[in-house]
Structure 1
């Protein structure tokens, strides 16, 4: 990323700056103050939260073709939902700080939107960037993405239940009356083993890119901009997408070695998106129309235990062949599973408690969700085993859709090999228009 590099998409390099809560444009005075004194906090932004540092070095020094794809931050929907799934993720959850007010929240969203509109085009977070400011002050941009292209970076911002009302019922920002009825803390599920360090948050940012350093740069700098208004609660790095959102993407594999996301909702299926992903005007509230709900689940995989399971049993647990991804009822990867098919002894070819069967829309009132998950490896635990798994991300029109599917999976035989250790839910507003900011409708 450069200070004044040409936009790969051909548009002007300087996006319109939103009006800040202080009456100026671009990053607000308080935001600039945070950038100027937040160099120490920048290290926290990269390192805070268990697992935040794993895998960063893999992107260092890697320059991409200047013509690499760039996604516009502005649009009817936020990027990072139906956008072709990138290879790397840095997800971050934030809490607003004590003694902040409504103006602080608005200015933060304006500053984030302005910076995001630049870095998604391969630019620094501000016009002065990493090297254009005073040599006697910390630079606006941390600079580790200089020379790197946009790498398909997308920034997606969400609002958690506690932004509207705290757990003890405090309406800090006068937003309780505008809280979506569907935006509630997820209920407990059978088998949950949730770590309080990986739960919830007032705000979230999902940064996805094809270069891990670009994704980390985004979260690092947005964290610096938040200084004095919001603090990082937890974060997670992910690699190796575990879903596809376009027909030209191949189906990837998760850390169990199976193809994942074969039946995912795709970006060109407008009917499915309208039915299952986008909040409609009739769903309410009006400020969320065109947005969605994001659920994040950190799912630890018991890798060493799984690796000792014979192949035929692995296939039966999933309900698909490990090699081809085809359902056990026959065909190819994209053949519709036949749950009535049986073997010579009359037993179902696809076991009744297999993952594929229990998650299938045919057994869940047609429920579907759009998945954007990633693998993660956070080193090893104190037993010398891999601390690894799936960072599950899904977008749905109604959080109840996720709840229904998760409850349906309570008897899934795969539960013997996984543990849900982190959880969160956020309302994702529609996209912003140039000159405005994400979530502006909430404050109208």
Structure 2
């Protein structure tokens, strides 16, 4: 699932708003080389915020040495330049009261702030008789651009039986209260959709992302259990200025139109919840994560003539240019005709249906990944796209576009398997100790 560009040229060097230039932070290797005493001291100094560059850092921007600020107006992992690896996990909360939920979010936030700076989840225990606080599989690795993003599902506010377990029922945002309607070409697995909480960990190194989710899952013991998880690799969109458009498993350039972190006006209009929006008292500065797992029938697609593949999408397969001409970022010309009189871009192509000019100017910020779950019993690849979009209001900026896909020529080669929507609260401001604090304390 794509959304087409307006054809505006992309800047090559601007930094995304709200994102500091990636820096080299204090890392696990530097921390551990100093021994336990040095590690405890470093963690103590880190309690008030992100550790600045230092130690063994070289000061360059190698992917394995990138770090991104954890605190800020917005959570990281939204407009952050899309990394190559994703590990996303949804949880069901087993905690019985609001105080326990706060304890979980506080522990998660503290661990995430450490992990995204390249530090262990906590100081190592002195006693060898007790388990270490950090599982250790990433001790020798840098932060690798790790970002950790937290979100809340509808059932955190009222569960499937309608119970208001944590006294949050009256704070359920209207955009989260509505289900995504049933769509064409879908076979939704309810057990691998939804959840009370979601954690999205993205990094340039898959082990760093796994390490983060491994430790957060371990911390959650007694408070929450894993509902489902999804691994993704090879970003299928570009959110950072200067990132080259990647290709999906159909071999197509994917995410040409994805919003970038430097498009502030569009982000304000279509991604960030505003002060006048529903639930603005705690969601202003946040966004909504919409996720769909979409299996791609590659064996069928692979046997299509190139002309049919390009007509299904509305773009040249190699260059990514619209079939009306130009280069990848040229605005599609839907009025242009072939010599035979047909539209150069077929009316049922993906471009023609998803372009903002055909959807009241609506944009969304895509941040999806390829996935592969092995092969099925017939030897066909069980693989496709784990589609993620961040939007200001799913009812206006996601569901209408999804509904139009029933007329999309690409739909014949896709099957939607899971569907989830989560509220992503704003970032941590000064003095806050856990993500979602404005929701759970009622503070504005």
Work out the CA distance in 1 between the residues paired with 2:161 and 2:362: 33
Counterpart in 1 of 2:224?
A: 230
Query: Cα deviation per residue 1:333-354 (whole Å; 9 max; x = unaligned)?
Result: 0000001111011100100110
Distance 1:439 1:4, change over 3 A: farther
Task: State which of 208, 212, 220 in structure 1 corresponds to 2:214.
Answer: 220
Query: Quick check: 2:29–2:142 contact (8 Å CA) kept in 1?
Result: no
- Measured after TM superposition, the shift of residue 66 of structure 1 is 9.6
**Structure 1: runs of 5 or more not aligned:** 7-11, 19-63
Query: Quick check: 1:3–1:127 contact (8 Å CA) kept in 2?
Result: no
Counterpart in 1 of 2:267?
A: 273
Work out the CA distance in 2 between the residues paired with 1:321 and 1:15: 50
Q: Does 1:73 align with 2:67?
A: no
Work out the CA distance in 2 between the residues paired with 1:389 and 1:208: 18
Q: How does 1:160-199 map to 2 (within 5 A)?
A: 160-184=153-177, 185-199=179-193
Query: Quick check: 1:299–1:392 contact (8 Å CA) kept in 2?
Result: yes
- Measured after TM superposition, the shift of residue 17 of structure 1 is 6.5
Q: How does 1:45-444 map to 2 (within 5 A)?
A: 68-97=65-94, 100-128=96-124, 132-184=125-177, 185-285=179-279, 286-400=281-395, 401-433=397-429, 435-444=432-441
Distance 1:160 1:308, change over 3 A: same
Q: SS of the counterpart of 2:329?
A: coil
Work out the CA distance in 2 between the residues paired with 1:315 and 1:360: 16
Query: Cα deviation per residue 1:375-423 (whole Å; 9 max; x = unaligned)?
Result: 0111111221111000001000001111010011111011110100011
Work out the CA distance in 2 between the residues paired with 1:268 and 1:65: 21
- Measured after TM superposition, the shift of residue 3 of structure 1 is 7.7
TM-score for both structures, normalised by structure 1: 0.85
Q: SS of the counterpart of 1:182?
A: helix
- Measured after TM superposition, the shift of residue 152 of structure 1 is 0.4
- Measured after TM superposition, the shift of residue 124 of structure 1 is 0.5
Work out the CA distance in 2 between the residues paired with 1:274 and 1:102: 32
- Measured after TM superposition, the shift of residue 272 of structure 1 is 0.4
Query: Quick check: 2:81–2:241 contact (8 Å CA) kept in 1?
Result: no
Distance 1:355 1:195, change over 3 A: same
The count of corresponding residues between Structure 1 and Structure 2 is 390
Query: Quick check: 2:63–2:204 contact (8 Å CA) kept in 1?
Result: no
**Structure 2: runs of 5 or more not aligned:** 1-26, 33-41, 50-60
Work out the CA distance in 1 between the residues paired with 2:289 and 2:70: 18
- Measured after TM superposition, the shift of residue 16 of structure 1 is 2.0
Q: SS of the counterpart of 2:227?
A: strand
Work out the CA distance in 2 between the residues paired with 1:15 and 1:367: 41
Work out the CA distance in 2 between the residues paired with 1:69 and 1:338: 40
When the two chains are superposed, the root-mean-square deviation of aligned CA atoms in Å is 1.7
Work out the CA distance in 2 between the residues paired with 1:172 and 1:194: 26
- Measured after TM superposition, the shift of residue 284 of structure 1 is 2.6
Counterpart in 2 of 1:15?
A: 46
Counterpart in 2 of 1:5?
A: 31
Work out the CA distance in 2 between the residues paired with 1:4 and 1:111: 24
TM-score for both structures, normalised by structure 2: 0.85
Distance 1:316 1:67, change over 3 A: closer
